[in-house]
Structure 1
Amino acid sequence: MSDFFSSQRIWLLWMLTVRELKGRYKSSILGFLWAIINPLFQMIVLTIVFSLILKVQIENYPLFLFSGLLPWTYFATTLMIGTSSLTSNRDIIKKVAFPRELIPFSVVLANLVHFTLALIPFLIILIFLGLAPQKSIIFLPLAILLETTLLTGLILLTSSLQILYRDISFIVVAALLMLFYLTPVFYPLSFVPERLQLIYSLNPMVGVTNFFQYIFLGSEIYLEGIVISLLESIIFFLFGFNIFKARSLFFSDWV
């Protein structure tokens, strides 16, 4: 375990993360601002569709949307990039011997930076409108840790499979499209019939999204869903890490 957290590994992880951050917005004028611009545009479009056209009556609907879109954007963007992270770094894998798991870890950390930067202006808006900070804000680090653990496990699994089976990238994109509509981002969890909520919560992003909505806006908390998300995050992380380590011996041949 001490070797896993050695200074050399931490330094290499830091360098890979910085490289990922710089490469993402190379030649981009707005740079890190895209971390909040993308979910902001989604919020505007969904607000127009559901609030103005379909007349969905939800209090503070734009803020409700944004509180779900931010963790969803973190999840979807990180998973898509992380899934192909090994093939995107094939030159490094072929030429340099180092712990391969640092590549997907660096993708998660880079996107965690984007997510954190996007949270800051959102919290400022909530404070300006007199809606924050809620007492539940103390749970924000736990919610971020929960989602990051889930993401890390999933990316370890998908990236280790995608390096040999490139169709995994397309499967992930299709799965994310489906999961978006099965996650309470643009509608509250209460819209789901109570008899279906347990099955619905098998989607780990249900508990994660509800956790963030509770933290930011004081929405009703669904503890069963959060517990399910926690258990699934642990399972995915342990399973993904073991699969990744077993397959990493062959990455330089497969890539």
Structure 2
Amino acid sequence: MEHINNFKKFQPLLYELVARDVKIKYRKSVLGVLWTLLNPLMMMVILSVVFSNLMKFDIENYSLYILTGQILFTFYNEATSGAMTAILGNASLIKKVYIPKYLFVLSRIASSSINILSSFCALILVMLFTRTELHFTMFLVVIPLVYLTIFSLGIGLILAALTVKFRDVMHLYTVFLTALMYLTPIIYPMSMLPEKVRIIVNLNPLTGILNIFREVMMYNRIPSAFELLVFLVVVLATLALGLWVFYKQQDEFILNL
């Protein structure tokens, strides 16, 4: 209850931090927030043209296949990378007044969540343009999006805590994201992978979340209760680990800022 009451007390500050993050990202930009709509569309066109001609994947509606993967991975990339520097970026404020430090990480995740909603609008536009059939399972899309948000928050808390003490994490994570992108079936089908590689890709939590997302958006399938339960346990365990690491380290933040 103490933590809940503390969160309610600082809730207006969280709104201000989210608004600040969004304004800073699109400051002096002519199109502003519209870039969250245009970016995935332009990337989808480029990737579709390149990979559909070079690799010749036999995937129905390949442009939509790419866009679904790109939207989710871009959100994870942006949310965790932003959360990683959340404490360092607000060092001057943390040194002056008491603010629950997790709010800075949470604000980065929340601002990225606003961006993914705009990207989701781009996905709907592509589905309408390509005359893809819309199914009632689309309403279940909130499940993988919530899973991804919780998972990103857990990873973000871990990265934020480690980055304060070890600045090298920022450089290592950039390399890790590149590897993770290729270990997530964004541009290729799972069927093309050798068995050993497929096992590794399936161990990636983003793969499972992305598969659920595609099932409800593209293939009119309802994920099994077992599948949903497994990934719920995974994302909650990641969040619990993130909270534990963050709270163990947060008292020493001030010494390393």
TM exceeding 0.5:
yes
Find the counterpart in structure 2 of residue 20 from structure 1.
Answer: 21
Secondary structure at the counterpart of residue 184 of structure 2? coil
CA distance in 1, matches of 2:203, 2:4: 32
1:235 corresponds, among 231, 234, 237, to 237
Paired letter, 2:255:
D
- 8 Å CA contact 1:79, 1:154 repeated in 2: yes
Q: How does 1:55-74 map to 2 (within 5 A)?
A: 55-74=56-75
Return 106-115 or 169-178, whichever deviates more. 169-178
Find the counterpart in structure 1 of residue 170 from structure 2.
Answer: 169
CA distance in 2, matches of 1:180, 1:227: 25
Find the counterpart in structure 2 of residue 92 from structure 1.
Answer: 93
Give CA deviations for 1:179-235 in whole Å, capped at 9, x if unaligned.
101101111233334565444221111011111111221177876776554333112
Secondary structure at the counterpart of residue 29 of structure 2? coil
Return 169-178 or 133-142, whichever deviates more. 133-142
Find the counterpart in structure 1 of residue 38 from structure 2.
Answer: 37
Secondary structure at the counterpart of residue 27 of structure 1? coil
Find the counterpart in structure 1 of residue 4 from structure 2.
Answer: 4
Give CA deviations for 1:80-133 in whole Å, capped at 9, x if unaligned.
111111111111111120100000000000000000111113213313543243
CA distance in 1, matches of 2:9, 2:213: 34
Instruction: Sort the Cα spacing of 1:153 and 1:94 in 2 relative to 1 into closer, same or farther, 3 A.
Output: same
- 8 Å CA contact 1:136, 1:215 repeated in 2: yes
Secondary structure at the counterpart of residue 20 of structure 2? helix
CA distance in 1, matches of 2:3, 2:194: 49
Q: RMSD value over aligned CA atoms?
A: 2.2
Secondary structure at the counterpart of residue 73 of structure 1? helix
- 8 Å CA contact 2:84, 2:160 repeated in 1: yes
Find the counterpart in structure 1 of residue 125 from structure 2.
Answer: 124
Find the counterpart in structure 1 of residue 247 from structure 2.
Answer: 245
TM-score by length of 1: 0.91
- 8 Å CA contact 2:40, 2:119 repeated in 1: no
CA distance in 2, matches of 1:48, 1:36: 19
- 8 Å CA contact 1:207, 1:228 repeated in 2: no
Return 58-67 or 188-197, whichever deviates more. 188-197
Q: Which runs of 5+ in 1 are unaligned?
A: none
Q: How does 1:188-199 map to 2 (within 5 A)?
A: 188-193=189-194, 197-199=198-200
Secondary structure at the counterpart of residue 245 of structure 1? helix
- 8 Å CA contact 1:208, 1:226 repeated in 2: no
CA distance in 1, matches of 2:3, 2:223: 39
CA distance in 2, matches of 1:230, 1:39: 27
CA distance in 2, matches of 1:55, 1:196: 20
Q: CA deviation at 1:248?
A: 1.0
Give CA deviations for 1:36-91 in whole Å, capped at 9, x if unaligned.
33322322222122112332221111111101111111011111111111111111
CA distance in 2, matches of 1:83, 1:36: 25
- 8 Å CA contact 1:201, 1:228 repeated in 2: no
Return 161-170 or 39-48, whichever deviates more. 39-48
CA distance in 2, matches of 1:187, 1:55: 10
Find the counterpart in structure 2 of residue 79 from structure 1.
Answer: 80
Instruction: Work out the number of aligned pairs and report it.
Output: 255
- 8 Å CA contact 1:157, 1:243 repeated in 2: yes
Paired letter, 2:157:
L
Q: CA deviation at 1:254?
A: 1.2
